[in-house]
Amino acid sequence: MSNSDNSPKHGVNTRLAHAGYQPQSFFGFVNPPVVHASTVLFPDASAIETRNQPYTYGTYGTPTTDALNAAMDELEGSHGTIALPSGLAAVTVPFMATLGAGDHLLVVDSIYAPTRNFCDQMLARFGVETSYYDPGIGAGIEQLIRANTKLVHTEAPGSNTFEMQDIPAIAEVAHAHGALVSMDNTWATPLYFKPLDHGVDISIHAATKYPAGHSDVLIGTVSANQKAWPALWKTFSMLGVCAAPDDSYMTLRGLRTMGVRLERHQKSALEIAGALEGRPGVARVLHPALESFPGYELWKRDFGGSSGIFSIVLDVADSERFRAKAHAFLDALQIFGLGYSWGGYESLAVHANLSDRTIAMPPREGPVIRLQIGLEDSQDLLADIERGLAAAARA
Ligand SMILES: *Cc1c(COP(=O)(O)O)cnc(C)c1O
């Protein structure tokens, strides 16, 4: 299953600079052209009948989307990649590719909330049953697998609360029972975790986040191994959910600097997370690369780094006050913006809504504040968080 044999020997930044890079195909211009296209012309009637040429219609790909997909294949060690118009589409299309009426799906409870909505509301309508499992389940997932379980969907670390998962153990059990394994790998990017090397069949990215990196693009990618690729490609081409040319270009452009950006996100996030640990007003810091974090050992075993998003749990004795304290914290911030998404250059904070959880229950000590640590100077960000904590203490 490991793809490491055919992965390039170069370091990650060298690969980021050259993945999907083919200047000789474009008259020597360094970057691929942004191909805006629906129609592709054929030289004659027989060629259009056999469709025997590299490009046939805009929905099936262009040199621009191919460059992005080739770059992702190199980074993920995958057989094929598709690019879709959002990260959410990158989650939902693999479900449609692998599941049908009467099938059972296992999804981690610490899942990105819109993924849960899709399973409970859309897949249910099409006769697919979803059950949720504890992120710490590991090989124990065997007890939840049924004869009709076709897919085990993972996400590590979990959304907002950052629970780690034992991906290789889950993959081994799932495969022994004939199920495929998908993973939302958005947090780590392929730089810090390569799911296919750990037994996952389908790796998903909200490339909106670090790959695009500037809060101005919505895009998703799905990279599959040889086993999962035919169904993924077939479903993708039937649905017509192709990423737009400018967004594909911007994402490839973002990948070129993702390594240096992530180094900075990682360093600042670790500095800030470390400084907040044990600080009065902060009950816990939820960051997989902190030794105190329950998933730390798994993170250290499997991941090559940590990115710039983590959460803090405010220390609030009275649960009636959670919302007021969270709002006081957020409203005092001057540098952090209040808004969804992450992976851009600017810092963001939100009060995480964990009301959908059924197994991985929210912390009891206080509200969960999710922090996206941007590229600003970390001492300024820490001072901003201090402002928030002081306001929460007063509220
Ligand atoms: C943001 C996010 C998505 C969805 O990405 P969009 O491009 O915003 O649709 C999916 N999964 C995870 C883990 C995310 O954080």
List the structure tokens of 254. 């973002």
Decide if domain 12-255 falls under CATH 1.20.5.440: no
Domain 258-394 annotated CATH 3.30.450.90: no
Taking alpha carbons only, the member of 126, 125, 134 closest to residue 106 is 134
Give the pLDDT band of residue 8 (cuts 50, 70, 90): low
Q: Is 218 in the pocket of ligand 1 (CB under 6 A)?
A: yes
Q: Average pLDDT in the 93-111 region?
A: 98
Residue 220 CA: nearest ligand 1 atom is 7
**Closest-lying ligand 1 atom to the alpha carbon of residue 208:** 7
Q: Rounded mean pLDDT of the chain?
A: 96
**pLDDT classification of 3: cutoffs 50, 70, 90:** very low
Q: For 203-217, what is the mean pLDDT?
A: 98
Report the pLDDT value the prediction gives residue 9, as an integer from 0 to 100: 77
The two most distant CA atoms of the chain are separated, in Å, by 76
**359-383 pLDDT tens trace:** 999 999 999 999 999 999 999 999 9
For the residues 324-331, what does the mean pLDDT come to? Answer: 98
Atom of ligand 1 nearest to the CA of 206: 5
277-292 pLDDT, tens digit each: 999 999 999 999 999 9
Question: What distance in Å separates the CA atoms of residue 247 and residue 4, rounded to the nearest whole number?
Answer: 29
**Domain definitions of the chain by residue range:** 12-255, 258-394
pLDDT tens for each residue of 24-83: 999 999 999 999 999 999 999 999 999 999 999 999 999 999 999 999 999 999 999 999
What integer pLDDT is reported at residue 251 of this predicted model?
Answer: 98
Whether 262 is in the pocket of ligand 1, judged by its Cβ within 6 Å, is no
pLDDT confidence band for 227 (50 / 70 / 90): very high
pTM summary value: 0.96
Q: Contact, 72 vs 16, CB < 8 A? A: no
158-198 per-position pLDDT tens digit: 999 999 999 999 999 999 999 999 999 999 999 999 999 99
Checking if the pLDDT of 265 tops 90, the result is yes
C-alpha span between 318 and 240 (Å, rounded):
50
Q: Within 13 A of 12's CA, how many CA atoms are on the CB side?
A: 19
The pLDDT of residue 5 is 38
Peptide bond into 157 cis (omega under 30): yes
Nearest to 335 by CA among 295, 382, 298: 382
State yes or no: pLDDT of 201 exceeds 50: yes
Q: Is the CB of 206 under 6 A from ligand 1?
A: yes
